[in-house]
Amino acid sequence: MYKKFLLLLLTQIGLIAINAEDQILARDMSFVMNLEYDLDSLLDRIRGMEEYADMALKEVTRTVNDIPQKAEQVKAAISQDDEFVKVSFNIPGLDIAKLDFEVEGKTLKGSIPVGDQTMKIEITDGVLMVSSHISYDEKTNDDAGEKHQMYEHASTQMMSLPVRIAHLKDAQVEYNNDHLVLKLPKFKEQKAETKKLSIK
């Protein structure tokens, strides 16, 4: 009886499949004994799935723990004044010669070296996205590439900017007292002019 119940339960959760006619016949114990999957093979299959899941979880945990945390700990701080929205990062000892920023259309993209890692930033449509990851040779190191994807997914930071920004090509980059600051011009709406028309 226990075997019959377990097999029907496994059917409901999708580990095995039997058609409607077979479900009716399942009332007969002899049918249960003759199913394609017997109880022992099903239990072996479940144990195998559990072992694989445990192994995968341990591998992901090991991979993330083995990766240096320098860039992940660099968080963006946002403030504003009358003219700019300011996005700042505390990065001591930054080599400004290795900074790389460009504006592509309506998106500002940047690459910031942090130790032996690279932090990528992207600002578009009022949203700031920061992802920190290890630099690697994509063509020759598949294992590093897999780690990069896991790490980037785990360390991506997204923040909404407080106001609309405009003319990213006019953005300014400053580095003072271990702080890298991006100054983004605020969008200012022009007031509509009122003009009286002369009547002739």
**Do residues 110 and 144 both lie within one domain?**
yes
Q: Return d(Cα 43, Cα 75) in angstroms, integer.
A: 47
Which tens digits make up the pLDDT trace of 115-169?
Answer: 777 788 888 877 787 765 544 444 445 555 555 555 555 556 777 788 888 788 8
Which tens digits make up the pLDDT trace of 9-41?
Answer: 555 555 444 554 444 444 444 444 555 555 666
Q: Is residue 196 part of a domain?
A: no
Q: Is residue 134 part of a domain?
A: yes
Domain extent for 88? 72-185
The answer on pLDDT for 100 being more than 60 is yes
Which tens digits make up the pLDDT trace of 37-64?
Answer: 556 666 666 677 677 667 766 665 555 4
**Do residues 100 and 163 both lie within one domain?**
yes
How confident is the model at residue 60, as a pLDDT? 55
How confident is the model at residue 28, as a pLDDT? 45
Here the tokens at position 71 are 């860039």
Q: Which of 35, 66, 97 is the last residue of a domain?
A: 66
How confident is the model at residue 181, as a pLDDT? 92
How confident is the model at residue 174, as a pLDDT? 92
**Do residues 35 and 78 both lie within one domain?**
no
- Give the pLDDT band (50/70/90) at residue 175: very high
| Percent of the chain clearing pLDDT 70 (strictly above) | 51
How confident is the model at residue 132, as a pLDDT? 57
HEC profile of the chain: CHHHHHHHHHHHCCCCCCCHHHHHHCCCHHHHHCCCCCHHHHHHHHHHHHHHHHHHHHHHHHHHHHCCCCHHHCCCEEEECCCEEEEEEECCCCCHHHCEEEEECCEEEEEEEECCEEEEEEEECCEEEEEEEECCCCCCCHHHHHHHHHHHHHHCEEEECCCCECCHHHCEEEEECCEEEEEEEECCCCCCCCCCCCCC
pTM (two decimals): 0.51
